[in-house]
Amino acid sequence: MESKKSLGIVETKYFTFAKGESPMLLESGASLGPITLAYEAYGELNKNKSNAILIVHALSGDAHAAGFHKGDKKAGWWDSMIGPGKAFDTDKYFVICSNVIGGCRGSTGPSSLNPKTNKPYALDFPIITIADMVKAQKELIDYLGIKRLLCVSGGSMGGMQALQWVASFPEAVASTIPIATAWKHSPQQIAFDEVGRQAVMADPDWNQGNYYDGRSPERGLSVARMIGHITYMSDESMEAKFSRRLREKNYSFTFKSDFEVEGYLRYRGDSFVKRFDANSYLYITKAMDYFDLSSGKLIPKGKTIDTRFLVLSFESDWLYPAYQSREIIQFLKTRNVDASYCQIQAKYGHDAFLLDIPEQTHLVKHFLSATFKINKVKS
């Protein structure tokens, strides 16, 4: 039986580019620079740099994907999947994860200082897209001297970035594993994001984004997170976790949180505002809504690519339902791409990809092993 150990203590690193007279041109036509990306790396890069895997995070994620920061009791957000003997086996692979631009966990975003004003960008920060996030990640991968990634993988918004890597830099990606995602946001997904944004902007403390010298819009951001968290769970998992259990013995006959599920959502909202910036929430959800690789944009007609795909979805995920993953696979088959698909039976809803699901681990591990062997033969 393979040993699955923790990575132990890890550290966040920082890479800055697009300095001075060389800012990065964004999809909107605006430019941004200098740009700093926070990133972490686990495992060892082999001699020919053929074992590098890029992990890309979801909306509220960051560069800390695995292991522990000094003094922390909680491991990185995908520790169940990254480490020695795990799906992304750091005994075999060099695993990288960076915080996206527009974020607030070490990478340049609206809470960062604008070099022109020496104040936080706030709403002066330009609108960014998933393609812009990937373009910045490519700068990091180039800096690390990696010409071709063995794999790019992530769930939810991470899955969008994994797909965008293929659209933007197909020659730099040997394989991709998009999980619990879509190749375009549906009207329902856009609607949930818009309600969240409106909750933030309706908070008087938002102050048109200029809240960094005063009170932050915690109540608005907390409500946005509560709304979002409902969509991450399934009806079955909520029933199992909460049912109609009360926090006290009887109803209070007030507007206090009578039910356990109410208290849980408030806790999730209150926890979120302590680690996330409200403006980043606005920018990142907008980037997700703009994302659209349908209508042949993923692989243009007449173009061939040498990238393998493993697309995974979860039966109970109603935020990114399985039909959206099947749309991707059906398109890939029309382009004669080496693509596999699996719909995993798990009751946990959209958040299932973050959990230790044996089938997900098995599929990823064997897909990566096969890809590594194929690439070794080709080289």
Task: Count CA atoms within 13 Å of residue 76 on its CB side.
Answer: 33
Catalytic residue among 60, 80, 112, 156: 156
Catalytic residue among 79, 203, 317, 351: 317
Active site residue 317: yes
SS3 string, 224-272, reads: HHHHHHHHHCCHHHHHHHCCCCECCCCCCCCCCCCEHHHHHHHHHHHHH
Q: Which residues face 309 on adjacent strands?
A: 176, 339
Q: Give the whole-angstrom CA distance, residue 299 versus residue 212.
A: 42
Contact 263, 257 (CB under 8 A): yes
Q: Give yes or no for a cis peptide into 358 (omega within 30° of 0).
A: no
Q: Give the whole-angstrom CA distance, residue 204 versus residue 193.
A: 19
Active site residue 366: no
Active site residue 91: no
Q: Which residues face 14 on adjacent strands?
A: 38
Interstrand relation of 94-98 and 52-55 (parallel, antiparallel or unpaired)? parallel
Catalytic residue among 57, 64, 185, 350: 350
Catalytic residues: 156, 317, 350
